[in-house]
Amino acid sequence: MQTLLVDRAVSMSQFKKNPAAVLRQAEGRPVAVLNHNRVGFYLLEPPLLEAVLEELGRLRHVAAQADGAPPEATPYRQLIEALLSQAKAARG
């Protein structure tokens, strides 16, 4: 069984029928779009994605300080690639 990371979910068919309505009803909150009762993707509006990336950057900075490395040693691209690799590994 897959864990939903958000409290709102819609089916893929509902999303395809009216994506604008899904965004409007979400009111800025993330939405899981389900494909055959499994998360196909998460829908995030730009301000939320920016906040997530800022938090990742802050965490990267904290981790770099703990390691004694400059924060630039782990650019966003590498961080995002690492997160994507973790997500792929979790899917199996």
- For the segment 1-47, what is each residue's pLDDT rounded down to a tens digit? 678 889 999 999 999 999 999 999 999 999 999 999 999 999 999 88
Residue-range definition of the domain harbouring residue 32: 1-44
Residues 36-64 have a mean pLDDT of 85
Phi, psi of 35 (to 5 degrees): -120, 110
Best CA proximity match to 12, nearest among 32, 33, 29: 33
Count of domains observed in the chain: 2
Single pTM value for the model:
0.66
31 and 49 inside one domain? no
- pLDDT value at position 58? 79
58 and 78 inside one domain? yes
